[in-house]
Amino acid sequence: MKWLDYTLQRERIKRVRPYLESGSRVLDIGCADGALFRFYDQRLAGGVGIDMDPVPAGDGKYTYVQGSFPSSLPPGRQFDLVSALAVVEHIPESQQDAFAAACYGSLRGGGRVVVTVPSARVDTILHALKAVHVVDGMADGQHYGFDPTKAIGMFERAGFELERHSHFQLGLNNLFVFRKPAEGRA
């Protein structure tokens, strides 16, 4: 990753902070190099990071899994927060509802999913920045023209309640926060 990639990554990670209670256990889907865990290490009780690309070695507090979510996730774990930062737009439409349902199943009652999704305009910008070698950015062909507003229905169909939707980075990025009802889904 290049400097701008890291800068964009840090900006997304900062959006998680207001929803991260001290002592939380976090599932970071699309964990990359484990930056979220390094950024919030003092606040976390532990977590699992999962990514399709190579992942760091675990250290006892954090477990890293190279693979896809949810099929590669170690069974039986419940988390206080699930983060999926710049991930949902990579999921084929036919798998989006299953992804949201798996997030639901991974959370304790009252837990949250924090999702960032770039505006559809970002693809054009990223292609231009990649062409001039300013960012490594996404792998070509991994975005599916995802409309960020579709994230709301995707997670609500799984049983989540939308807690927040806002924009950041000059409106080019969307933040969604969904909460699992405290008593769980009937």
Fold exhibited by the domain 3-179: Rossmann fold (3.40.50)
DSSP 8-state assignment for residue 131? H
- Sketch the domain layout of the chain as residue ranges: 3-179
Tens digit of each residue's pLDDT, the chain (186 residues): 676 667 778 899 999 999 999 999 999 999 999 999 999 999 999 999 999 999 999 998 999 999 999 999 988 899 999 999 999 998 999 999 999 999 999 999 999 999 999 887 655 555 555 666 665 655 544 555 678 899 999 999 999 999 999 999 877 899 999 999 997 444
pTM of the model: 0.87
Could you identify the residue written with the tokens 């036919």?
94
Please state the separation of Cα 92 from the chain's center in Å.
Answer: 15
Alpha-carbon distance of 161 to 50, in angstroms, equals: 24
Q: At 5, is the secondary structure helix, strand, or coil? A: helix
